[in-house]
Structure 1
């Protein structure tokens, strides 16, 4: 039997070297595995931290949206948008009609107390109004300031007691007068004939943009006056406003 004492020294040294190499290889493999485990653990920890931050961000956004909804609801309960915001909206939407100081008038038909051809009007009740210097006197709208005014009038008519004939008509005129004019002048006019099919008079609407002076008086003249329908405000009316 051959024992280790009789082995070739070179073989003995080679065997020792192989054992050392195997030990180094095992240590390196253990170190790599350890590093891999450490890296995987760190990556998982960072991912969990990112998810937690994302959850907090989403929760914060939801809280802000809920607070904004509560604020809007509270503003609506208080009466809507603040006045400052309303003013900003008025600049974009159009003129602020609440603060409009332009003269305007809208008169509605009323029962006639006489048989003259000049219609008299309601200036205060119902849909009627006088604003910013406009006056109504002696069946006339009195213009307070010189400028361009849109003047309008509509007359509606009741069905005749008997069937109207085709040769009958009703005429309407808007007259302007002033202390500087020798005679009243017609500024707008129209006419309605009895229609062949319905045998009733169709409404007359007049409207136009006119240059008027301070003190001008506008009056509506109709002939004949009897068929004029003044039963409701929206059938017969007369008005003017500064543009």
Structure 2
């Protein structure tokens, strides 16, 4: 390309010199040279553009678009976890949470560790939990002193922002719900009273920090009454 432009430039200058009957001013030769040089640059740019289009091929632009779309989807994935609960006799203060059953799932860094949810990074999160129970109101150990059946469910948080270290594991309550479902009577008939089914649900938004841990607690006497069929008892968190 450079050789062709040089030949064209020399030829144009010589032709212009032969046509002139009067002495040619240096400015005319310079103007003609600049014109030819500009045409050479334009031709070179057009050749490069055509070469690039032929090199990419018809499908490469579509592949680049798909790649950008996939990366954008990955960056927009929000942290979320949903756990299903079941009764485990070895746990005396909490439901056993499971992450790989039924509708349970996790993404974005939220994970289940030692029956606790671990927060992956700072931010606002919606924390929720539900516990379902099947209570026999006529099953009274001490009807006089405890005539009412109470159901309670609690979510607690451990955080370095509380000033605790990993060894202390001091938790603070962030969600708590209690409900009275039925009353025991001295003349209760099991055939007439049967069972009461009740659900305790709670949820709220919290500003959590990376490394925070969330766990649930429940009275030991209520764990045996837990309904652990799919969709009845669960624990979850998702980022806002």
- The TM-score by the shorter chain falls in which range? 0.5 to 0.7
Q: How does 1:207-226 map to 2 (within 5 A)?
A: 207-223=203-219, 224-226=222-224
Name the CA distance, whole Å, in 2 between partners of 1:198 and 1:128. Answer: 32
Aligned to 1:135: 111
> Structure 2: 5+ residue runs without aligned partners?
1-64, 66-71, 165-169, 184-192
Q: Which has the higher strand share?
A: 2
Aligned match for 2:149, one of 168, 171, 183:
168
Name the CA distance, whole Å, in 2 between partners of 1:205 and 1:195. Answer: 18
Judged with a 3 Å threshold, the aligned counterparts in structure 2 of structure 1 residues 99 and 146 are, in CA distance, closer, same or farther, namely closer
TM-score (structure 2 length as normaliser): 0.55
TM-fit CA distance, 1:233:
1.9
Aligned to 1:34: none
Q: CA RMSD in A?
A: 2.9
TM-fit CA distance, 1:119:
2.1
SS of the aligned residue for 2:218 comes to strand
Is the 1:115–1:225 Cα contact (8 Å) retained in structure 2? no
Name the CA distance, whole Å, in 1 between partners of 2:152 and 2:137. Answer: 19
Q: Which has the higher helix share?
A: 1
Per-residue CA shift, 1:144-198, capped at 9, x if unaligned? 0111100000000123384567522121110001245342000010012123588
Aligned to 2:84: 108
Name the CA distance, whole Å, in 1 between partners of 2:194 and 2:207. Answer: 38
Aligned to 1:242: 239
Per-residue CA shift, 1:32-64, capped at 9, x if unaligned? xxxxxxxxxxxxxxxxxxxxxxxxxxxxxxxxx
Q: How does 1:141-156 map to 2 (within 5 A)?
A: 141-156=117-132
Per-residue CA shift, 1:71-104, capped at 9, x if unaligned? xxxxxxxxxxxxx9xxxxxxxxxxx988642110
Name the CA distance, whole Å, in 2 between partners of 1:160 and 1:198. Answer: 6
* Length, aligned pairs only: 150
Is the 2:134–2:198 Cα contact (8 Å) retained in structure 1? no
Name the CA distance, whole Å, in 2 between partners of 1:198 and 1:188. Answer: 31
Name the CA distance, whole Å, in 2 between partners of 1:173 and 1:119. Answer: 11
**Is residue 194 of structure 1 aligned with residue 181 of structure 2?**
yes
Name the CA distance, whole Å, in 2 between partners of 1:237 and 1:97. Answer: 28
* Structure with the larger RCO, 1 or 2 (CA within 8 Å, 6+ apart): 2
After TM superposition, the structure 1 stretch with the greater mean CA deviation from structure 2, 114-123 or 146-155, is 114-123
TM-fit CA distance, 1:114:
1.2
Judged with a 3 Å threshold, the aligned counterparts in structure 2 of structure 1 residues 195 and 210 are, in CA distance, closer, same or farther, namely same
Aligned match for 1:118, one of 85, 90, 94:
94
Name the CA distance, whole Å, in 2 between partners of 1:198 and 1:229. Answer: 16
Aligned to 2:52: none
Judged with a 3 Å threshold, the aligned counterparts in structure 2 of structure 1 residues 214 and 158 are, in CA distance, closer, same or farther, namely same
Greater C-alpha Rg:
1
Name the CA distance, whole Å, in 1 between partners of 2:136 and 2:233. Answer: 17
Name the CA distance, whole Å, in 2 between partners of 1:201 and 1:170. Answer: 11
TM-score (structure 1 length as normaliser): 0.55
Name the CA distance, whole Å, in 2 between partners of 1:216 and 1:210. Answer: 11
TM-fit CA distance, 1:229:
1.0
